[in-house]
Structure 1
């Protein structure tokens, strides 16, 4: 599915202050269709604003679908959902699995993507959820994060993906989509066939070449990690990675160490004030290993870092939903864009430089005080864990994605699809 597409324009959006107004503005201007995927939707001031934007769009005849994650968005009220569905919004909920004695059986397989597509002409991809903790006025726990707005031919790939996600979920439920959705999916299939003949593809909007890259549990199990590794492997001057949850596999760590040892300026921006203490504990277990190879580590200390971005050699960059930890690299459903554009790379690089200069603490070896015997034992354990975790993560049970609109009973399972988009249940 992933292919380099030229002629795109990217706009970097930092934090909710830049992201939310732009998304809501585009939804308000939608003429035909809005498709949203998100891990978290909370019933707070941000969630209410998204709710209002989708509700108004549906009331004026725009076709609206939203998919949320059942683990990330568990507490939406029946009134919140029913107001949307009565207006014609189709709400789909990804659930990691059926409960057994009150416990989910596939706890760790989550729909972690954050995507918006408006009229098949404009898309948003990144790490920002629809919750007030992505705004600075939330306080010390407000998150630092990034997304991109996309115009140009790449939007056709993203548009195709979100429609295939809906179709796959229904087929795996062993049911036909509702009539309106069935007609829309058929219409999209016709438009996609036209797109393959170079019809119906958004016109070039800029100079950037880009890939839309996803991770799932069947056909695209390590695509995002492969692009990271390839970019670091060929890096010549500089690598900056800002990632909230950092505990990557052995091969990715090896590429970082090799790059630093051959003279590349490799810098990591990680959490210094984490939203979960275990995040910093896990990442710090790798500090000696990385510092010894010449990797520079910065901890962002103003508030929790939630970003998942990288800028390499003044040209390559990525923005998306994928962390560099076992959940994102081996279990979750994720989506990133990979961008080749010097202007975008420069802007992202400058913002990350400002973060390191004004809001981070650089970690020095002398800051790491611990007994040498414990470091030796821990390093042995970490080495073997990281070397093997992509394999053992694959042993955990996967599931066939199923989707149903909120308010309907889930039909019996009777089909399967190679695209593991998600499993859904009524709210």
Structure 2
């Protein structure tokens, strides 16, 4: 499958779960035929139960519903929670679940990290927001800052086709000798309300999302803003950011200043000197953890999706982004990101970067060699065909079955 730029879409930016969840619950409530939902994390908390009820009500009125959860990101849903959905007819699958070792999840690599919902062939959602209470601002200081998109129009058909082709019963067998690299799809007639669905897999589309970032940086003329939660990209992307800045483009990077995992900030800090010396403006967002995966360029290009700019997203995980060419959307996203910079971020200067020393120089050399060669190194990791585990509907208790049989027999006249 290869997607093309689609015109005539209606594209809405949704910030945090406060905007995202009500829009999704409403769309599910108005579904006519089908709901397909993929996510990395679904917790059994207030938000998770709201999603559960929205899907359950839709299934009970005859809507076909398929759910795919990642086996690493969502391992703890209770049996009763899932059974209530499957009993109502929901097809419920886990992507590559794995057994725990001493209570620890071991299936870390090659995860299904996409966050997509397709409803009928009319509306779809895509972004970085999972289903948990920590995506709502009322959660408190640890609430995640994130973004998603609601889209209607022709690009929804591409997203639906992608989902249907990747269902377990219809996915084609992939062969290593058939793998090929796809060039970023050219937007030959730039206009408004245009969208392109792109994804990353471990077959024919291994670096599609990264290549769109690289092309965007090469084409930038005035401004680039990248907000990315887990920033530790490959050398090519770092070099492209510096190259854009050195030719006069204002390149702004927003990373986590209050990370949900401390190692995230440690990794990003190792890149500060390289970026600052190249003219890139780096900002640490410090109000709460940043979970967004968004970027914009000049006054028309933007992307929102699930892909971080780190080794897992760029080289291992299954990801999906929407590339958008629309001035109104670009401005809406710029307003949101500039507000983060102006009110809740600290600009990084050389005094905040790791001090120059032989030790730090040595670490930087190791880091950059790692980033340069990581995509090739990934091929050494154990790879296998992911197992999709479908949850069977609960079996009716034997006593209920016997009661129905006895009632049936009692109604037969002698």
**TM-score category (smaller protein):** 0.7 to 0.9
- Counterpart of 1:305 in structure 2 is 290
Separation in structure 2 between the aligned mates of residue 126 and residue 243 of structure 1, nearest angstrom: 12
Is 2:388 aligned against 1:387?
no
Separation in structure 2 between the aligned mates of residue 338 and residue 283 of structure 1, nearest angstrom: 25
Q: How does 1:324-363 map to 2 (within 5 A)?
A: 324-363=309-348
Q: Secondary structure of 1:12's partner?
A: strand
CA contact (8 A) 2:354 2:360 kept: no
Instruction: Quote how far apart the aligned CAs of 1:106 are.
Output: 4.7
CA contact (8 A) 2:97 2:389 kept: no
Measured against aligned partners, the alpha-carbon deviations of 1:323-382 in whole angstroms (never above 9, x if no partner) come to: 000000000000000001111001101110011000101001122352422232122111
Q: How does 1:126-275 map to 2 (within 5 A)?
A: 126-167=127-168, 207-275=192-260
CA contact (8 A) 1:66 1:90 kept: yes
**Alignment gaps of 5+ in structure 2:** 174-190, 395-414
Measured against aligned partners, the alpha-carbon deviations of 1:305-340 in whole angstroms (never above 9, x if no partner) come to: 000000101111000000000000000000000001
Is 2:24 aligned against 1:23?
yes
CA contact (8 A) 1:311 1:318 kept: yes
Q: Which has the larger radius of gyration?
A: 2
Separation in structure 2 between the aligned mates of residue 254 and residue 39 of structure 1, nearest angstrom: 30
Return closer, same or farther for 1:307/1:155 CA change in 2, 3 Å cut-off: same
Measured against aligned partners, the alpha-carbon deviations of 1:147-173 in whole angstroms (never above 9, x if no partner) come to: 00011100000001111121457777x
Measured against aligned partners, the alpha-carbon deviations of 1:126-157 in whole angstroms (never above 9, x if no partner) come to: 00000000011111110000000011100000
Separation in structure 2 between the aligned mates of residue 355 and residue 404 of structure 1, nearest angstrom: 41
Aligned length: 376
CA contact (8 A) 1:169 1:401 kept: no
Separation in structure 1 between the aligned mates of residue 101 and residue 54 of structure 2, nearest angstrom: 37
Instruction: Quote how far apart the aligned CAs of 1:207 are.
Output: 3.7
- Counterpart of 1:116 in structure 2 is 117
Measured against aligned partners, the alpha-carbon deviations of 1:253-303 in whole angstroms (never above 9, x if no partner) come to: 010010011110000000000000000000010000000000000000000
TM-score, with normalisation over the residues of structure 1? 0.85
Q: Secondary structure of 1:130's partner?
A: coil
Separation in structure 1 between the aligned mates of residue 100 and residue 257 of structure 2, nearest angstrom: 35
Separation in structure 2 between the aligned mates of residue 406 and residue 96 of structure 1, nearest angstrom: 12
Separation in structure 2 between the aligned mates of residue 171 and residue 224 of structure 1, nearest angstrom: 22
- Counterpart of 1:364 in structure 2 is 349
Measured against aligned partners, the alpha-carbon deviations of 1:402-421 in whole angstroms (never above 9, x if no partner) come to: 43430289xxxxxxxxxxxx
Separation in structure 1 between the aligned mates of residue 286 and residue 245 of structure 2, nearest angstrom: 24
Separation in structure 1 between the aligned mates of residue 79 and residue 172 of structure 2, nearest angstrom: 26
Measured against aligned partners, the alpha-carbon deviations of 1:17-55 in whole angstroms (never above 9, x if no partner) come to: 000000001001111111100000000000000000000
Instruction: Quote how far apart the aligned CAs of 1:209 are.
Output: 1.3
What is the aligned-residue RMSD (CA, Å)? 1.9
- Counterpart of 1:64 in structure 2 is 65
Return closer, same or farther for 1:394/1:365 CA change in 2, 3 Å cut-off: same
Q: Secondary structure of 2:9's partner?
A: strand
Return closer, same or farther for 1:164/1:131 CA change in 2, 3 Å cut-off: same
- Counterpart of 1:40 in structure 2 is 41
Q: Secondary structure of 2:8's partner?
A: strand
Q: Secondary structure of 2:195's partner?
A: strand
- Counterpart of 2:301 in structure 1 is 316
CA contact (8 A) 2:96 2:386 kept: no
Q: How does 1:406-421 map to 2 (within 5 A)?
A: 406-407=391-392
TM-score, with normalisation over the residues of structure 2? 0.87
Q: Secondary structure of 1:5's partner?
A: coil
Return closer, same or farther for 1:56/1:364 CA change in 2, 3 Å cut-off: same
Measured against aligned partners, the alpha-carbon deviations of 1:77-106 in whole angstroms (never above 9, x if no partner) come to: 000000000011111101255778987775
- Counterpart of 1:202 in structure 2 is none
CA contact (8 A) 2:270 2:354 kept: no
- Counterpart of 2:180 in structure 1 is none
